[in-house]
Each structure stands twice: as structure tokens, then as C-alpha cells.
Amino acid sequence: MFEVHFYVPAEVLAGELSQRTASVDDYLASFDALRPRILKVAKAVYAATRNSTITLDLEHFR
């Protein structure tokens, strides 16, 4: 068994949120709403790279 670390930058979660006024709760709610899509993208990126640390940027979600 091994671990794979995925990082999701705030800009991915921000979407329509204003990064200046968004609260932690706003980002957590955004993560919860995007979770199925994040998992789908994470699986695809991992399958292509097989790295143990992956940062999911905006390009991965287009």
C-alpha cells in the first residue's frame, strides 16, 4: 500500500468566489461541491503520471 498526495490550489476552489473575501468555510463548501469532479480529475492525472505527489491545477479541469 502507498500514499498519493493530491494538492488542489485555492484558485481551483475559488471558482466564482472572490479570493479576497472568501472564507475558509467558502473554500470547504466549494471543495465539497467539486469533490466528484476532483476525484475524477485526480484519477485521470494519476493514471497519466503515476507520481506520488500531484498538484491539480486549473488546466487539469478544462
Q: What is the pLDDT of residue 18?
A: 75
At residue 53, the 3 state secondary structure works out as strand
Residue type, 26: D
Instruction: State how far the Cα of 21 lies from the Cα of 2, in Å rounded to an integer.
Output: 37
The model's pTM: 0.84
Ordered per-residue pLDDT tens for the chain, 62 residues: 889 999 999 889 988 777 678 899 999 999 999 999 999 999 999 999 999 999 999 999 98
Burial 37-50 (b: 16+ CB within 10 A, else e): ebeebbeebeeeee
